[in-house]
Amino acid sequence: MSDGITLISEEDDVDISSKIQKYYIKKNAKPAWYLGTGFVLFWTLLFFAVVLPFFYRMPTSLTIEDDHKGEFIGDRAYNTLNNLVNIGPRTVGSSANEVDAVLFLINELSPMIKVLLHYYFTMEVDIQRASGALRYTHMLNMYHGVRNIIVKLTPKSSTSESYLLVNSHYDTVATSPGAGDDGFMVATMLEVLRVMATTPQSFEHPVVFLFNGAEETAFQASHGFITQHKWAPNCKAVVNLDAAGSGGRDILFQSGPSNPWLVEYYKKHAKHPFATSLGEEIFQSGVIPSDTDFTAFVEHGKIPGLDIAQIINGYIYHTKYDRIDVIPRSSIQSTGDNVLSLVRGLANATELHNPQAYEEGHAVFFDFLGLFLISYSEDTGIILNNCVAVVGLVLVFVSLWRMSSISSLSLTQVLQRVLIQLILQIIALALGLALPLLIAYVFDSFGLSLTYFSSLSLLIGLYVCPALIGLSLPITIYYQWKKDLPCPYGLQLALHIWAILLSMLAIALTAYGLRSAYVFTILNGFYAVSLALNLLTTLHDRDYNWTGLVMACQVIPFLYCTYRTYLLLVVVIPMSGRLGSAINPDLAIAGVTALGTIFGWGFLIPLINIFRRPYLIVLSILTVTVITVILASSTDIGFPYRPRASSERVSFQHVRRVFYEYDGSIAKDESGYLISFQDRREAEPMKIRSIANARSIRSDCEKHMMCGVPLYDERWVDNRLGSVWLPREQPIQLPAKANLTLLSKQILESNTTARFEFKLEGPDHMSLFIQTYEDDFATLSNWSFDRTYLENPPAYPLSYHIYFTYGTDRSPLNFSLDISKPNGDFEVPLFQLGISGHYVETKRDALTEQFAASFPSYAALVDWPSSYDRYIF
């Protein structure tokens, strides 16, 4: 003892941190573990009680009796849609599309002209027949005589030369009635036009309503309009309406480019906002196997716009089940309310006079539970993301300083524990993502992919719970083992580390140019608010009192993350049934689910450590996973397909293929079925004898140009290696034949080039495949088609692919090919020419009908006869 001060030797030193731990919280003060299970269950129920009802919320459809307020009448639009669907499938070139659908539209427009408010408006109707060509993916897409029905509604008081374009398409794919894609939007447009033409509410700019008749053939009609029609140069912005499903709310999933004012008009006028720039970035990345007319307008017309689509119930998209009975009237009312109000708003937009003057980069936009829309410019987003990230980091540092001053640990010692927590959090993130992916991989390895396809609730046990286990396990184990810092502070450190990681992600992704970094800003911002309040009120230092504000401030981020994750899953899961067999969709679905779980629960799942025995909570979550795995792998709950509701997609062609040699002799003449299973499981679930003898066409792809089969379009080309060939003894009897005639062969003046001139006649859908014998130094140097495609050929092993569609004009296709060869020897084989003809409206013969009947009830079949002739010149 010296001067009243007692010196404690190093041997007598006590664990100060342990004493502080006991001072702040007694073991018995922690709630029981089962309340922790209730804590997890509460947030799960919050999703079901709030997110799902708001996700599917729609207005009541207005009836004809309500037709006196200038509003969209859902019942009338529904009846219009029913009449259109009754026409049946409307493929390009068919009588249903080129005659019946056109007459339907004219009959709908005629009464509108009679009731038009002539003192306010003029209405012009034009029928366009367009021909042209555009490159699409790896093929040259040519069309001849496709139809557009175009209506221009002009206020008599308007002097504007700037038009607003509104577009949808009335054609369909084979076998589909097209109630959702895109009859829904056609009926919506007709009702919007009727309301605007009969309501004494003027507007500044004329509105052009384009009903295009060839979208399913890769945007031919929209390309024909925007590049050829007399009104096209005046169209300064577009509202494109399409579908990848049907029966829910319409979503704004693309905007611009570089015109954020368009989103501001959507924000102001859409009555039921449903939009996200996250979806825009995902869609434009190319991972979604779909596209819309919006691409044609933006790329070939150089006009900005908004792309809006139906996306719920994508299981019926492009199937025979796309019928009106799956569409509630409230759905068309919701879309109609949005489109009518939006078109009226844009028709009065000052920016429409010169959109180029308002190009300010992209927009960041997202709705919250459909209640309201938040939008701002990309530049504002950059500032906001970085500022919130920096503020969050500063608040975390202040918190660490407080911890060091209260706990008698130095700031250096606290930072050492931060480093440990950082390693733990990285491990937790890796486990949270890896465990769901591992389950997805194992299921696929055992042939059990797509178990969630019809039962989305299985995602909770298969992917959500493993993500929660991975996210919580490292931290839980650490806190049960290491107690060198008061547990309340230790838990705060775990949350702080998550905030640091989110801040770094937000800064990095913003610098990379991803607007979807706004998601991290939402998560960071609300945690920063709770941390600031805890610091200001000193709750930060009072046991677990700080957790109340953290949980309260996490309600909105949790709802938003789960809402947006659910949207992605609702869109992507049906698409996983048409990605082909080469891709394991379970990995993508597991990844999306895991990331949504990690972001939604990142600030919540560590809080299970405020309860006693938190490892029992983890075991409870594990139990859910084990039960789900058993149900998904060994019961019908995990079988992917249901008749009508969630079908397995199968496309097949009844093919007659003939291979002609250089001397004109026939090397092969055979018939069979070319079958394309469009999902991962292929034929395995069906177990039907009729396809037992089918073989892969991979070997044909190695020997023959484009596998020696009539690959219909870019999807068939992409999935060619997953296709199979089933021989058929009885020859396929085609209704006609695609005839190729060599008109002339002449040697040009250079004596190193030969010009071949051909005439092609055939059905409304045909393809040409061209490939030279390069081993003999023959090259395709020129042709009568688009030269830019010639100069930028598809990547090996693909050949040149000319996809050709007839609308109303069946004139023969005349074309020429110039083959160059240095030695001038043109009396040997120079190139192969493959001709495929598709008879998509032709009915099956008796044998094919019997073959189709052998498929199970859950199979959605799309089939037609086709021919393939291979020539050598």
Predicted confidence (pLDDT) at residue 689 exceeds the cutoff of 50: yes
Predicted confidence (pLDDT) at residue 11 exceeds the cutoff of 50: no
Domain endpoint, select from 638, 673, 693: 638
DSSP string, 432-454: HHHHHHHHHHHHHHTT-TTTTSS
Examine the domain organization and report whether 352 and 399 are in the same domain: no
- Per 3-state DSSP, the chain is made up of helix, strand and coil in percentages (nearest 5) of 50, 20, 30
Structure confidence by residue, pLDDT tens digits, 134-149 = 999 999 999 999 999 9
Give CA–CA dist 434/428, Å, rounded. 10
Structure confidence by residue, pLDDT tens digits, 719-757 = 999 999 999 999 999 998 899 999 999 999 889 999 999
Give CA–CA dist 450/584, Å, rounded. 9
State the average pLDDT over residues 522-550.
94
Predicted confidence (pLDDT) at residue 25 exceeds the cutoff of 70: no
Examine the domain organization and report whether 336 and 472 are in the same domain: no
Helix (H, G, I), strand (E, B) or coil at 805: strand
Asked whether 499 and 392 are in contact (CB, 8 A), the reply is yes
Predicted confidence (pLDDT) at residue 24 exceeds the cutoff of 90: no
Structure confidence by residue, pLDDT tens digits, 606-659 = 999 999 999 999 999 999 999 999 999 999 999 999 999 999 999 999 999 999
Asked whether 187 and 84 are in contact (CB, 8 A), the reply is yes
Nearest to 182 by CA among 164, 190, 170: 170
Say which range, 19-28, 47-56, 433-442, 801-810, has the weakest mean pLDDT. 19-28
Structure confidence by residue, pLDDT tens digits, 328-347 = 999 999 999 999 999 999 99
In the structure encoding, which two tokens stand for residue 231, read together? 């009104």
Predicted confidence (pLDDT) at residue 383 exceeds the cutoff of 90: yes
Examine the domain organization and report whether 632 and 672 are in the same domain: no
CATH number for the domain spanning 226: value is 3.40.630.10
In the structure encoding, which two tokens stand for residue 228, read together? 């050829």
Share of the chain above pLDDT 90, in %: 85
Rounded mean pLDDT of the chain?
93
Q: 16 lies in a domain?
A: no
Query: Which residues touch 696 (CB under 8 Å, ≥6 apart)?
Result: 721, 723, 724, 725
Domain endpoint, select from 334, 369, 404: 369
Helix (H, G, I), strand (E, B) or coil at 408: coil
Examine the domain organization and report whether 49 and 81 are in the same domain: no
State the average pLDDT over residues 518-541.
95
Range of the domain at 98: 64-369
CB atoms within 10 A of CB 219: 26
Q: 316 lies in a domain?
A: yes
In the structure encoding, which two tokens stand for residue 341, read together? 């109000």
Predicted confidence (pLDDT) at residue 20 exceeds the cutoff of 90: no
Say which range, 64-73, 457-466, 512-521, has the weakest mean pLDDT. 64-73
State the average pLDDT over residues 557-572.
97
Asked whether 557 and 526 are in contact (CB, 8 A), the reply is yes
State the average pLDDT over residues 103-118.
96
Examine the domain organization and report whether 395 and 516 are in the same domain: yes
State the average pLDDT over residues 102-125.
96
State the average pLDDT over residues 489-510.
94
CA contacts within 13 A on the Cβ side of 515: 26
Residue 466 pLDDT level (bands cut at 50, 70, 90) = very high
Q: 607 lies in a domain?
A: yes
pLDDT at 483: 61
Rounded to the nearest 10°, the torsion over CA 499, 500, 505, 507 is: 110
Asked whether 178 and 187 are in contact (CB, 8 A), the reply is no
- Write out 678-728 in H/E/C secondary structure: CCCCCCCCCCCHHHCCCEECHHHHHHCHHHHCCCCCHHHHHCHHHEEEEEE
Give CA–CA dist 668/715, Å, rounded. 26
Q: 555 lies in a domain?
A: yes
Examine the domain organization and report whether 393 and 457 are in the same domain: yes
Structure confidence by residue, pLDDT tens digits, 294-321 = 999 999 999 999 999 999 999 999 999 9
Asked whether 172 and 88 are in contact (CB, 8 A), the reply is no
Examine the domain organization and report whether 227 and 116 are in the same domain: yes
Examine the domain organization and report whether 407 and 347 are in the same domain: no
pLDDT at 749: 80
Order the strands of the 813-820 sheet from edge to edge. 739-747, 753-761, 813-820, 779-783
Beta-ladder partners of 863: 652
Query: Which residues touch 434 (CB under 8 Å, ≥6 apart)?
Result: 470
Q: 716 lies in a domain?
A: yes
What's the pTM value of the predicted model, to 2 decimals?
Answer: 0.93
Structure confidence by residue, pLDDT tens digits, 219-257 = 999 999 999 999 999 999 999 999 999 999 999 999 988
Give CA–CA dist 179/185, Å, rounded. 9
Give CA–CA dist 557/519, Å, rounded. 9
Q: Between 316 and 24, where is the model more confident?
A: 316
Beta-ladder partners of 755: 746, 818
In the structure encoding, which two tokens stand for residue 205, read together? 């700019």
In the structure encoding, which two tokens stand for residue 432, read together? 């949270």
Q: 374 lies in a domain?
A: no
CB atoms within 10 A of CB 44: 15
In the structure encoding, which two tokens stand for residue 375, read together? 């939008």
pLDDT at 484: 57
Predicted confidence (pLDDT) at residue 539 exceeds the cutoff of 70: yes
Q: Which of 59-73, 518-532, 774-788 has the highest mean pLDDT?
A: 518-532
Q: What does the DSSP 8-state code read for residue 538?
A: T
pLDDT at 485: 59
What is the number of domains present in the chain?
Answer: 3
pLDDT at 10: 40
Distances in whole angstroms, Cα of residue 851 to Cα of each of 84, 452, 675, 679, 770 = 31, 29, 12, 20, 33
Residues 286-305 as b/e (b if ≥16 CB within 10 A, e otherwise) read: eeebbbbbbbbbbebbebbb
In the structure encoding, which two tokens stand for residue 286, read together? 């190319």
Give CA–CA dist 143/126, Å, rounded. 19
Examine the domain organization and report whether 625 and 652 are in the same domain: no
- Write out 472-511 in H/E/C secondary structure: HHHHHHHHHHCCCCCHHHHHHHHHHHHHHHHHHHHHHHHH
Omega of the bond prior to 182 within 30 degrees of 0, cis?
Answer: yes
Predicted confidence (pLDDT) at residue 16 exceeds the cutoff of 70: no
Examine the domain organization and report whether 557 and 655 are in the same domain: no
Residue 776 pLDDT level (bands cut at 50, 70, 90) = confident
Domain endpoint, select from 587, 620, 638: 638
pLDDT at 635: 95
In the structure encoding, which two tokens stand for residue 795, read together? 């990547």
Q: 10 lies in a domain?
A: no
Examine the domain organization and report whether 70 and 219 are in the same domain: yes
Residues 231-254 as b/e (b if ≥16 CB within 10 A, e otherwise) read: bbebbbbbbbbbbbbbbbbbbbbb
Asked whether 189 and 241 are in contact (CB, 8 A), the reply is yes
DSSP string, 546-589: HHHHHHHHTHHHHHHHHHHHHHHHHHHHHHGGGS-SSS-HHHHH
Q: 6 lies in a domain?
A: no
State the average pLDDT over residues 549-553.
97
Examine the domain organization and report whether 480 and 505 are in the same domain: yes
